[in-house]
Structure 1
């Protein structure tokens, strides 16, 4: 009897320990998790993350560690963490995961029941999980909504509900907005209600029905708007353009990037710093898998950057900039201004030249095959070193080139130096650290 009591106490302590440690993410393959979910009649909770994703780390160190969340999720779900760039590549592709963190709940058939993107669901993990449990028995689960959406393109009431549900799930509403606008009879396109609807939505892209309605009624909307709304109307077109460019780059969507390029050619849009017609066109070629066209344009683009000014002229200008800004008492007071001052010391114009060269060269490196293309990379790296000796981003590219050439020891040493010099503002520093580990293990990058 005493032995049974001790065993029971140990069992209860073990259960309590599991719960107190937060969410217990199982070391299971996806197919194994599906089988377990079917056997236990549970949903699978999946955290899609990457090593370089800052918000993913916030969830992992915060909400996922909370005992109350652990108790709820360990009781109700089979929990998995999948790195979308490693062991979870196939599943990320299957569920079209492009943003991180993405949190999904799937049933034992592998169908999505509930979905959320970003860290906001971490503020109420139990509420988020409860929504998933409710959705699993509701006709409005994520998967069922997608199925109904495909069949109800002319159902105005459903499409409005679809937009609402997608907003609640924190997922993209753009397709729902477009479908609803094509069939809605709630108000006229020229009405103030339509203007307010368009201004309230953040997922409107170029080439959409929403953009068409806005452009057709812009002048009329100005007569209806308050002074504050007029400012929003004036910013709307360019905001939609910038949002579309970012989304096309993030999702690597060639068709959307094609429309972005068409809009940019009109000359009415301002791009974010570093983007222009050439960079958008290079993106389009890459996303379309037209790598030869990308490489030829990349060569022209980088050569044009190198020929804009002589190295001597750039250094002269940068010396003047540094002398001026180094006297500013606001610099050097904290880590952020330290980085800014370091950039000015390296050279403002030099950095503005090196950055786009290295960004483009990194993509070029992925597809470089011929001796001439490899010599191009060497030439560009050598030029960047002349502008800014020992620049970490140039070191990093050079390390990758050495590794590809079979010079592993030199590559590892230079990669480590590059990582050591990277400021904390480099968002994907952990990705480069992962590449270093791959080099040390003699694995493919």
Structure 2
């Protein structure tokens, strides 16, 4: 099931651009990044690198591009890359005593170091580094004590909600308490709050964000707001999967229909695919995926290939594999890549069509692939 969910996560990044499938780096100066961090109540992640650093290049290629890394870092940090030998790099290198690369710095809005590490690391360890940085910047404990003592004024509740959000802790209870103190949501401060806390479709804050859609779009952008809607609906689907409550799936689709009617049909189909993947229903996943691909991605080789690969890794059912073989064949007819050919070959092999599999794999090898065998299938 892990491969199927991983495949679906990649598809999310390809089809719905929730987070560009990796870290989004801020294009601006450090001073501008600090101002944005203060505005968005976040800390800064700075990748201190050089153009000649090998580990830096590997981090950029293999770690910063990772979908899970992108989702976490885009949500919790203002991310910035600084070449230590260009522009303001030498000044920052001196200020933060950077003498090896990459140096991974986590800074507060004042530019003070919250956490730091040197050297490259794989995605899972890098995620752990980010979580440690959040914990070191966690101010929610101070607010929790004051809350227990009875403090409830709006400014306090707002600050407490952001402290929880920025520490990746449950925050909806306190955010809702703040919302209940407000009668007017037209102020910039409250519109920002609605946007920042509309993280689940099955919430009052999400509904208020949709009600104030036009004002938030003026403040952010139509595309940014649309991405927020999709992310919130996805979180509700994740809960539907985790708690096995299909009603939450229906609620996510309904909320998207209210929020973005033009996109509702496509999202509803995507939602069903995501739910089928999460509940390990490979038959429903394949059937729904076939419908989606015919309607929305019949000329998208990368997406066709990824769906085919997901089915390949999850089943030996001939009927389902035949559907996946069709997608794989379409992918190679659109974009003749060795990777796509090898997936096609592996599906043919599972279907018992050994001679065809060998011919397709030979074509993959002709394109420069070094391996003479099809990918391991885990059986």
TM-score in terms of structure 1 length:
0.44
Report which of the two structures shows the higher radius of gyration computed on alpha carbons: 1
Answer 1 or 2: higher relative contact order, Cα 8 Å, separation at least 6: 2
TM-score in terms of structure 2 length:
0.50
